[in-house]
Amino acid sequence: MVVNFKSQALQKAAAQPPEKDRETTDKILGDEFLGQEDLLGFKRDAAERRMKQTLLEVNELIRENKWEDAVSLFYPVEEKFPEFSTYSMDVFLRGKAGFILGQLKKYDEALKELTYCTQKDPDNFLLHSSLAYTAYNSLYAAKNREIFLGGKIKEDRIRLAHRHFQEAQRLRPEGVTNFYRQGMLYKQLENKTEKALPLFGQAVANWEKLNHAEKETRRQEQKNYVKALFQLAGSQLERGKGREALHTINRCVAEDEKTGYISLIFKYFALGKVNFHLGRFTQAKDALLFALQCESDRPADFVCELLARTYIALENFPRAMEIIQKVPEHRRRPYYRWTEADAWCAAGDLHKARKVLIACQEKDSRSRHKTLIRLAKIEYLLQDFRASLRYAEEAGRFYTDKWGNIYDDGLFWQSLNHHRLGETETALRLALDLKSSNPRYLRLNLLLEKLGANAGESRAPETSHESYPSA
């Protein structure tokens, strides 16, 4: 074989840049401003490839709910993947990290990651939605006593959730989920039903505007549409819109017939509750009986309680007591025992009702004032006005000590009993205290009339509200 040395030399020369070019290259690579740059993008391309592979691995662990594995492999992102930060790719993975940390109830760390991401990418709908949802979940965890959020921290967390729900709504105004969740934040966590109601309504309206193809594409939001209907009905009822609530809960039952996102017992309990408040007791009874049949294990006390109350309204007292007995006595919560006592009262046995309530108030550390007022009413009906007065005074003291406010029912029944005992001056003073606290209190005007007071008459000597519990 003949070797062409001349050809090899030419090839070697071509492969080596001239000395001048080599000097130029060395100067560039040694430049203090450019020397650290990835001029040809080799490092960036490698980082992109690694990012794609990392996201595939993270998503696989998320699908398998392997949250601890995901955290140990990928968090903190800035330490384990510093090149992602160099090329501003870390937002993708840190957003995932925020979601994963939220699943592990590490809310503070999760919110830190997601806040960083929203600052880096302020128009990213998914990041705002994820941050709002994580803050919302942390508030639920606090409500369920899984974590502690107190004072200003809780207030800041609520504001954070609202702000990012609103950002998500701005970026995707046709959505369902973020309107529904912000409604739940108002209703369940802040007790602001009037603010929740329009948000539930918007969630429902947004879904119903979609055509069939759009609904198929966004099938994952259907569940929150049905839940928004359910919550909308409850909010309408709470705000005194019973007819609207009936229409909404019927739509919810129909929409959820095939999907079953909400359990039958809750849907039919809600249907029964709306009918009960509308005075449609037969329809309420039918819905509640069906709800009771849907409970596979043991009867739900909230269904039994309302069903018993419905039978009381239908004047079927034996059936009401039969329903009451479905829940064992040791499992009867205070509100259940109130209905039990009401059933005995309706049947004309005040002494049995009193026995039930005495046993109830001894174990109740939260709503004892309501039990005491019921006892005051029973003693009043039995014409033992001194005993009735003692219960009313005790109810007032308990409520003020527990909640720091005036108990209107306590004032009313104290005043009424003083009136029956012939202690008119004290009765008038307490009645006028009640008028100052709640001028629209039911039967207050009748009581004032009995006491010889009217709107233009000067009131009796005042005592401060603070002194009233010891009256």
Which value, to the nearest 10 degrees, does the dihedral of the CA atoms of residues 196, 198, 204, 206 take?
-120
Average pLDDT for 77-103: 81
Distance CA 181, CA 187 (A): 10
The CA-atom distances, in angstroms, between 146 and each of 39, 97, 106, 107, 149 are: 51, 21, 11, 12, 10
Burial classification of residue 125, based on how many CB atoms lie within 10 Å of its CB (0-12 exposed, 13-18 middle, 19 or more buried): middle
Tell me which amino acid residue 248 is.
Answer: T
Instruction: Indicate the SS3 state at residue 315.
Output: coil
Q: What is the pLDDT of residues 232-261, one digit of tens each?
A: 999 999 999 999 999 999 999 999 999 999
pLDDT of residue 48: 73
Residue numbers of the domain that contains 145:
46-172
pLDDT on residue 88: 65
Residue type, 56: L
Hey, what amino acid is at 316?
N
Q: What is the full DSSP assignment across 137-154?
A: HHHHHHHTTSS---HHHH
pLDDT for res 196: 98
Residue 193 lies in a domain: no
Cβ-contact 99, 75 below 8 angstroms: no
Contacts of 249-255 with C-beta under 8 Å, sequence gap 24+, read 249/274, 252/226, 255/225, 255/226, 255/229
Output the CA angle 379-382-384, nearest 5 degrees: 60
Is 185 domain-assigned?
Answer: no
Cα dihedral 169, 172, 177, 180, rounded to 10, equals 30
The closest of 406, 412, 409 to 451, measured between CA atoms, is 412
Q: Is residue 120 part of a domain?
A: yes
Distance of CA 192 to the CA centre of its chain: 10
- The share of the chain scoring above pLDDT 70, in percent, equals 85
Q: Under a CB-based contact definition with an 8 Å cutoff, are residues 347 and 331 in contact?
A: no
What pTM was computed for the model?
A: 0.81
- The full length of the chain comes to 471
Is the per-residue pLDDT at 461 higher than 90?
no
> Token pair of 196, please?
């929740």
pLDDT band of residue 31 (cuts 50, 70, 90) is very low
Average pLDDT, the chain: 87
The reported pLDDT for the residue numbered 86 is 64
**289: closest CA among 266, 268, 318, 270?**
268
Other CB atoms within a 10 A radius of the CB of residue 152 amount to 8
CATH code assigned at 154: 1.25.40.10
What pLDDT score was predicted for residue 79? 80
In the block, tokens 């108990």 appear at: 407
Residue 337 CA to residue 344 CA, distance in Å, equals 11
Domain count, the chain: 1
50 lies in some domain: yes
Note whether 75 and 93 are within 8 A (CB): no
pLDDT tens digits, residue range 202-229? 999 999 999 999 999 999 999 999 999 9
| Residue appearing with tokens 């839940």 | 227
Longest dimension (CA), the chain: 136
pLDDT tier for residue 138 given thresholds of 50, 70 and 90:
very high
Establish if 91 belongs to a structural domain: yes
Q: Any idea which residue has 């809310």 for tokens?
A: 107
| Cα separation, 94 vs 121, whole angstroms | 12
CA distance 242 to 209: 25
> Does any domain span residue 60?
yes
**Residues near 33 by beta carbon (within 8 Å), at least 6 away in sequence:** none
Residue 35 has pLDDT above 80, yes or no: no
Q: Give the pLDDT band of residue 22 (cuts 50, 70, 90).
A: low
Distance CA 469, CA 149 (A): 32
User: Do the domain assignments include residue 155?
Assistant: yes
3-state helix, strand and coil shares in percent for the chain, rounded to the nearest 5? 75, 0, 25
pLDDT, residue 44, reads 67
Q: How confident is the model at residue 72 (pLDDT cuts 50, 70, 90)?
A: confident
Any residues with CB less than 8 A from the CB of 231 and at least 6 apart, and which?
180, 183, 184, 187, 196, 200
**Is 231 within a domain?**
no
DSSP 185: I
Q: Round to whole Å and give the CA distance between 468 and 37.
A: 78
